[in-house]
Structure 1
Amino acid sequence: MTSSPGNPPPIRTTRILEPEQIAMQAGRQMPFLRLPVRSLVFSDRQLRLRQLAASHPMREYLIFIADLAQAQHQVLQDYASVELPESEALEAAAKVLKPPMPAFGWTRDPVWLKELRRLLGLFRARLPEGPARDTLDRVVAADDAWVNEQADRLSRRIMFGLDLAAAPLIAAGLQAYWTQLVLQVAEREGENIYGRTDPGNECPCCGSAPTVSITRIGADEAGFRYLHCSLCGTEWHYVRIKCTHCESTKGIHFESLSPQPGVELPATGARDGAVKAECCDSCGHYLKQIAMEKDPEVEPVADDLASVTLDLLVSEAGHQRSGHNLMLLFGDPEIPDDGGGG
């Protein structure tokens, strides 16, 4: 593909092998689930965001989210205990292949609102005067009903009526809460309490959509793909060369930003080939795949944000994004006057 002045950067399309041709990997043992690590999940994210921001056109926003992730990390280290499901309910969910604490059905412990406001207080100390701080103050001052309504829209991926300026702030609180919930259950019951789900593209813990997939390195996980939950940060194994939206194994191909002589591409911060879009011709959706073998320092949420140019190019080619990143949402900016938020 070629590029001329005024045209978008080129993307490289690569056809790949069918699943049967890589089936030799099926006999290898690897952990199905990778729960978030309390001391690392948000700390690694904020470090990677700062690294990516160094020469990135979205530098200010990446730093903004890095500071937000740093506040998430601080809150998670001593998060208040939250109400957990009964052991019987966890076992019943596993038997029917459903997530035990679905984001769009689980009744959130009111403590999440207290911890959200604590998180925003920590974040505020890093914000200069301006619109972002004004939005934060508005969220902190809003009544609980409005915050919970906005949280419900985020959990259900309803964009109409969502306050897009406040969304990342509220989402940060939801992510911290669900990470605490997932870890607290595992501490009480053991990690094996979480089973597989049907369909397999839902998070086994909270049922949320993935942000991206990541192919990992390491003795037990080398070459295997995991989906990264957009809400609780859990990762679960999902076979490669299989659509994460419709689960088809036909018509799968990768597209990526293609550096060519004389063509200047927008910086993503990641090494060449570390971020690609896995596209499905069957359903027309795509999910980004990031590869640790190409860049060991990749982090799912951070590298997804930094590669938004790839989203624009693949969308222009006719594919629809299936990945969900709570830190970068697009939708109807109209906000209904429902008391407390506007």
Structure 2
Amino acid sequence: MTASSTTQKLLSPEEIAVRAGEQLTFLHLPEAGVFAERALRLRELAAGHAMRDFLLFVAELAEAQHRALSAGTEVPLPTHEQVDAAARAGLPLLPAETWPRTAVWRESLRALLADLARRLLESPAKATVLQLAAASDEHLETQAGRLLTGVMLGLDLATAPLIAAGLQLHWVRLVRQTAARVAGPVAAFGRIDDPTACPCCGSRPVASLERLGSEGARYLACGLCAAQWHYVRVKCTHCQSTKGISLQNLVAADGSMPEAQPAVQAECCSECGHYLKLMHPVRDNGIEPLADDLATLTLDLLVSESGLQRHGVNLLLLFGEPDESPPPGREA
């Protein structure tokens, strides 16, 4: 559909002052229906989409995540001492790269994969799902570690979305149960020293969005635990500069805009050469950050042609060199 992009220069490079910013809710934790809403949006976006089959597969995956989250499995939670230590240090309480992953996440992943396989019927992906479900603990842990630390070497890109789904499920449980049982959302999770990272798990955002009901305030959406935290507008989410910020939109092949006010744009920074998508639910109230990020891959491709690098990460769709790692269950 699209073959080029158009750049919209903003009138001012300075930050937009958020009215009574301190009164805004800083952090929104993932709701119980986060995966169900994602699945619904993916099915809606899949209609007529060039990536229809993939979006429908991810929708099935999100529905399996929802069923697993609804089961109420308990996970080991941080202590009050760990909560206090993280707050004093200005660090996320549940850092994705270093937080201990106990056996419960692997057990939940295997159960999720078994549930998913039963619903895939004759899908070509079913064999991959079953193969990963039978993989060794060592393989699952090695792949999870590479995924969470951004190590592409040896990462199996074919099964990475499935591993990511298990990790998302685990961290959503961690965040929700910590807030409910340890110290409450305000005491457990707050501002950290790095405003561009998730205050719950330290992950990079998958996208940013102007939340409905927040007077147009911009929030970053975590691609792992689905938390959303406030971040001022017209400010780079990578280098935090307020200079050289512009918005790029998809345009039709004939050069015309497909819509007067696109619901998804790329906020680009000429200072550091990075970008992150900015989503506008007021223009499409069905927006779900991870789902709409997947469905606007064309925008990523067009922006990257200008040399910009993506700041955020979508764990369900990664790119890299052809994998040379051994099949599931046999690590090198």
TM-score class normalised by the smaller sequence: over 0.9
**Distance (whole Å) between structure 2 residues aligned to residue 271 and residue 149 of structure 1:** 46
Amino acid at match of 1:307: T
> Does the C-alpha gap of structure 1 residues 203 and 248 become closer, same or farther in structure 2, counting only changes over 3 Å?
same
Structure 1 residue 271 displacement after superposition: 9.0
Structure 1 residue 332 displacement after superposition: 2.4
C-alpha contact 2:264 2:278 (8 A) present in aligned 1: yes
TM-score by length of 2: 0.94
C-alpha contact 1:19 1:240 (8 A) present in aligned 2: no
Structure 1 residue 15 displacement after superposition: 1.2
Q: Which runs of 5+ in 2 are unaligned?
A: none
Question: Per-residue CA shift, 1:45-101, capped at 9, x if unaligned?
Answer: 000000000111110000000000000000001232111111111111112210011
Structure 1 residue 20 displacement after superposition: 4.6
In angstroms, what is the RMSD of aligned CA positions?
2.1
Structure 1 residue 263 displacement after superposition: 6.3
C-alpha contact 2:250 2:257 (8 A) present in aligned 1: no
In structure 1, the residue matched to 2:189 is 194
Amino acid at match of 1:250: K
In structure 1, the residue matched to 2:126 is 133
2:303 is aligned, of 314, 326, 329, to 314
Question: Per-residue CA shift, 1:148-200, capped at 9, x if unaligned?
Answer: 10000111011111011111111100000000000010001111020111211
1:72-221 equivalent positions in 2, closer than 5 A = 72-188=65-181, 189-192=183-186, 193-218=188-213, 221=214
What is the DSSP-based 3-state SS (H/G/I as helix, E as strand, rest coil) of the residue aligned with 2:17? helix
Amino acid at match of 1:199: D
In structure 2, the residue matched to 1:13 is 7
**Distance (whole Å) between structure 2 residues aligned to residue 119 and residue 339 of structure 1:** 17
C-alpha contact 1:9 1:263 (8 A) present in aligned 2: no
What is the DSSP-based 3-state SS (H/G/I as helix, E as strand, rest coil) of the residue aligned with 2:125? helix
What is the DSSP-based 3-state SS (H/G/I as helix, E as strand, rest coil) of the residue aligned with 1:279? strand
Structure 1 residue 138 displacement after superposition: 1.1
> Does the C-alpha gap of structure 1 residues 130 and 226 become closer, same or farther in structure 2, counting only changes over 3 Å?
same
Relative to structure 2, which stretch is displaced further, 279-288 or 327-336?
327-336
**Distance (whole Å) between structure 2 residues aligned to residue 129 and residue 223 of structure 1:** 45
C-alpha contact 1:146 1:338 (8 A) present in aligned 2: no
**Distance (whole Å) between structure 2 residues aligned to residue 50 and residue 139 of structure 1:** 25
**Distance (whole Å) between structure 2 residues aligned to residue 295 and residue 185 of structure 1:** 32
In structure 1, the residue matched to 2:51 is 58
Structure 1 residue 21 displacement after superposition: 6.6
In structure 1, the residue matched to 2:266 is 277
Amino acid at match of 2:313: H
In structure 1, the residue matched to 2:275 is 286
**Distance (whole Å) between structure 2 residues aligned to residue 260 and residue 164 of structure 1:** 31
What is the DSSP-based 3-state SS (H/G/I as helix, E as strand, rest coil) of the residue aligned with 1:22? coil
